Amino acid sequence: MNVLILFVGWCILFVLAWPVALIALVLLPIVWLISLPFRAISVAVTALFALMRAILLLPARMLGYRG
């Protein structure tokens, strides 16, 4: 659904201002490539927080708490 909304928005932009739409079409893959390292950092930080939570809640799970 998001791809369809993006495509329809790009078509409307192409009709209203085609140079801006073409620039957006060229810059979108470049922005995606630049954002990849930040996504990898986000995955690593999320995993770190999950590990910390598991370590901190281990005593409670050993005593039988189900949360």
Question: For 37-46, what is each residue's pLDDT tens digit?
Answer: 999 999 999 9
Domain that holds residue 34: 2-62
Determine, yes or no, domain membership for 46: yes
Q: DSSP alpha helices (H): ranges in the chain? A: 2-16, 18-62
Determine, yes or no, domain membership for 26: yes
Q: What is the pTM of this model?
A: 0.58
Please give the mean pLDDT across all residues of the chain: 92
* CA–CA separation, 40 and 46 (whole Å): 10
Structural domains of the chain, count: 1
Determine, yes or no, domain membership for 67: no
* CA–CA separation, 42 and 50 (whole Å): 12
Report pLDDT for 67: 65
